[in-house]
Amino acid sequence: MTPTFLRQFIIYTICNVTGEEPGNIVALDKVELNTRDWEQIFSRLEAILDVHTGLLTSTERSISIEALTHLLHARLTGDIIV
């Protein structure tokens, strides 16, 4: 999976859960989410991509789409995350 596809998939998943428009999500430096949305988004991403991010139970509720794209791509390709 390419980083571009993952980024689009992350945006799609966030929009699908929150009801926000893609343009509103992409315009944000960091996406702030409530606990319910956070859990829904990460359980969907982890289930569909069959990866464990460690973020599902995180107490943090904001994330950069670029950072998440990098994390997921690294998990899927087996690269070490620094």
Q: The tokens of 33 are what?
A: 């989410």
pLDDT at 81: 58
pLDDT digits (tens, 9 = 90+) for 19-29: 999 999 999 99
Contact (CB, 8 A) for 28 and 8: no
What is the 3-state secondary structure of the chain? CCHHHHHHHHHHHHHHHHCCCHHHHHCCCCEECCHHHHHHHHHHHHHHHCCCCCCCCCCCCEECHHHHHHHHHHHHHCCCCC
pLDDT digits (tens, 9 = 90+) for 27-72: 999 999 999 999 999 999 999 999 988 898 889 999 999 999 999 9
Judged against a pLDDT cut of 60, whether residue 15 lies above it is answered with yes
82 has pLDDT over 90: no
Query: Residue 80 pLDDT more than 70?
Result: no
